[in-house]
Structure 1
Amino acid sequence: MTFEQIYTDLKNNIYKPLYLFYGDEPYYIDLLTNYITDHVLKEEEKDFNLSVFYGLSTNGSTIVDTARRYPTMAPYNLVIVREAQQMRAELDQLSKYALHPSPTTILTVALKLQSGNKHELLKDFKKAVEKFGVSFESKKVYDDKIPEWIKKYLSAKGYTITEHACQMMADDLGNDLNLIVNECSKIIINLPKGSQITPEIVEQYVGISKDFNPFELCRAISKRNKLRAAEIAFYFASNPKENHPIKINAVLFNYFQKLWIYHQLNDKRGQTAAIALGVNPFFVKEYAEAARNFNINQCSQVLKLISEYDLKLKGVDIDQAEPVELMKEMIYKILAI
């Protein structure tokens, strides 16, 4: 089932005896787990019918014994297991319970994984859960999908955001959804519903400079504006904690990768190009302009250069170089290509 399907069922009081929420994106795992914790039982029912366990400090037999209990003056016995990635043999015990779950218990297991990592017992547990319950994998949102995610999130809250402001937030915050939601909340509590969020508002409440950010650096470089690019680079150098070179490097690589793709498109018209690049049609004109300043061979050279400096920024094959100096050096070399 999708997140939307599970969330809709929960809001309609349609419950399953078993839930497994897992993956490398904690935002959706927390959202679903917290909703179940907060809404399945009334406050007065929680004292005797809500049990919360944490993977590192519990064991499978305790969870199973608790799940086998009958509810006390409530419709359900609610058992929540958080941080289940810390469990090993315990998941095997939960798998056995999942094959014969109590119909009056709702057992919810939240298992958060690091990107690229797998839990050796997850496959068997997931299969057991799906016999009578629901599993949902919460996957990281790709970087190029973040602007659209931000717009949808704010739209659901009753706000609109300009393309420039949206890209500012996406470039600065990355694909950490919890961080994005936290920063959006700073705007939401200060603006009435129906407001449009502009770069000035993002700068005021989130603290991202509308003039000095990764988005503006990409613009300056793509226009071969050496003075502007240097100005932004020196600003970043004076604020390295807020503008870490590795993060800036990732944004630049993503930009020139899209520009390289743009050069290879047979149809470079707005909507078609926007879909191929994974950007809003608003930005296609900027890529068209950038393509006149960097041909496809130059884009390839830039991507190779950025990859080399990415390794240097991570300390590979270089001794005690300041990251900010490496970043400035790289920008100078890009503009010289």
Structure 2
Amino acid sequence: MITDVWKQIKKNQFAGVYLLYGTETFLIHETIQLLLTHLLNEEEKDFNFSTYDLEETPLEVAVEDAETFPFMGEKRLIVMQNPVFLTSEKTKGKVDHNITKLEDYLNNPAPYSIIVIAAPYEKLDVRKKITKELKRKAVVEEAKKLGDQDLKIWIKDRAISNGVNIDDKAIEKMVSVAGSNLFVLTNEIDKMSLYVGSGKRIDLHTVEQLVSKTLEQNIFELVEKVVHRKVEEALRIYYDLLKQNEEPIKILALLSSQFRLIYQVKELSRKGYGQQQMATSLRAHPFRVKLAAGQAQLFSEDELKRLVHLFADADYQMKTGGLNKTMIIEMILFQLHSLSQKK
């Protein structure tokens, strides 16, 4: 796991080359920041830290920089962003790279330089020679979405790094309110840490008082109100979102996405899938799958099929201007409420 790399860096144990790939770009960013903090002081950063976008700069330029002796320090940190040549994506018309230059470097890396290859892609092309060489000679870690338990551990560790503690109930509430986006969670943890002060504790009340709900969380609560026959509360959430200048078409898209996930989870559950298998198959965060599994129990398969078609029709109406956009979602909420009353 990428957190194991963090532990090594914090002990000032560095590899010569890191290949970090995956769609959780926050984890890649954090690794680079951690290396920067532990490798270079403020004066050295101006001279010995370089970052290159390989969609704009030839690879060999970055490699030559890594081969250059550090100035006013002992180490250099070279970050190579967007190495699309490690994927199966066609690179026609983009920058030409001398891949051999990197292969040669891997055989004889500069002892004073640390290279981070940041690849924000879900998969790498393991058939390519350079990918195989990196897997053999670099520290390779996947920056993937954290599972439910890993996410809670990460939140606790983040709070501790800020000099505060956080209760388990506060963590549960925080994830349910703010979601699983690490950039969002970081901002919320940092905000609460400043509020409670060093050495103090973030409790459930602090989260309820300070953490902002995401649009996605408001949509989840809206769905929860409807399926539990609380249409007035659902409408209140909807009107609050409109007051916050949220577009009806965006709200509809999130509602559609939630019910599509509920339907997919119900189908996979019927086939015997576990929640972790569902998350992998649907490419959804385990926490979202867990919530959808609970909601799926409130609907039959036929009801969910009808709802998916209902949302598709609403999307068509909204995009063709057949009805008032605000009214379309109101009608959907009343139809969902009517459906829940038949249960």
Q: TM-score, normalised by structure 2?
A: 0.71
Range moving further from structure 2, 82-91 or 56-65:
82-91
Deviation at 1:221, TM superposition (A): 1.6
Structure 1 residues 178-257: aligned runs within 5 Å: 178-192=183-197, 193-198=200-205, 201-202=206-207, 204-208=209-213, 213-241=218-246, 244-245=250-251, 246-255=253-262, 257=264
Deviations 1:217-258 (A, max 9, x none): 122122123333233333333334288412343334434555
The 5-angstrom pairing of residues 35-50 of structure 1 reads 35-50=34-49
- Say if 1:33 and 1:313 are closer, same or farther in 2 by CA, change over 3 A: farther
Count of residues in correspondence between the two structures = 309
Match of 1:167 in 2: 176
Partner of 1:295: 300
TM superposition shift of 1:32: 0.8
Gaps of 5+ in 1: 267-271
Q: Is the CA contact (8 Å cut-off) linking 2:76 and 2:113 kept in structure 1?
A: yes
Residue 332 of structure 1 corresponds to which residue in structure 2? 334
**Aligned residue in 1 for 2:112:** 104
Which residue does 1:305 correspond to in 2?
A: 310
Distance in 2, matches of 1:84 and 1:314, equals 40
Query: Deviations 1:151-185 (Å, cap 9, x if unpaired)?
Result: 33332212131645531222xxxx53222322332
> Would the aligned equivalents of 1:17 and 1:107 in 2 still touch at CA under 8 Å?
yes
Give, in whole Å, the separation in 1 of the partners of 2:247 and 2:98.
Answer: 40
TM-score when normalising by structure 1: 0.72
Determine the C-alpha separation between the residues in 2 that align with 1:83 and 1:9.
25
Specify the SS of the correspondent of 1:90: coil
Distance 1:30 1:67, change over 3 A: same
Q: Deviations over 1:26-51 (max 9, x none)?
A: 10110111111221234454454333
Kept after mapping to 1: 8 A contact 2:56/2:95? no
Note the C-alpha offset of 1:24.
1.9
| Correspondence for 1:58 | 57
Could you tell me how far apart the structure 1 residues matched to 2:21 and 2:13 are?
Answer: 20
Once residues 295 and 186 of structure 1 are traced to their aligned partners in structure 2, the CA distance between those partners, rounded to angstroms, is 42
Q: In structure 2, what is the Cα distance between the partners aligned to 1:310 and 1:22?
A: 38
Q: Which residue of 1 aligns with 2:155?
A: 154
Asked if structure 2 preserves the Cα contact closer than 8 Å seen for 1:218 and 1:255, the reply is: no
**Which residue pairs with 1:269 in the alignment?**
none
Does the aligned pair in 1 maintain the 2:54–2:95 contact within 8 Å? Answer: no
> Are residues 1:134 and 2:139 paired?
yes
Q: Aligned AA for 2:257?
A: A
Tell me the CA shift for residue 66 of structure 1. Answer: 1.7
Q: Which runs of 5+ in 2 are unaligned?
A: 86-93, 160-164, 280-285
Contact 2:178 2:214 in 1 (8 A): no
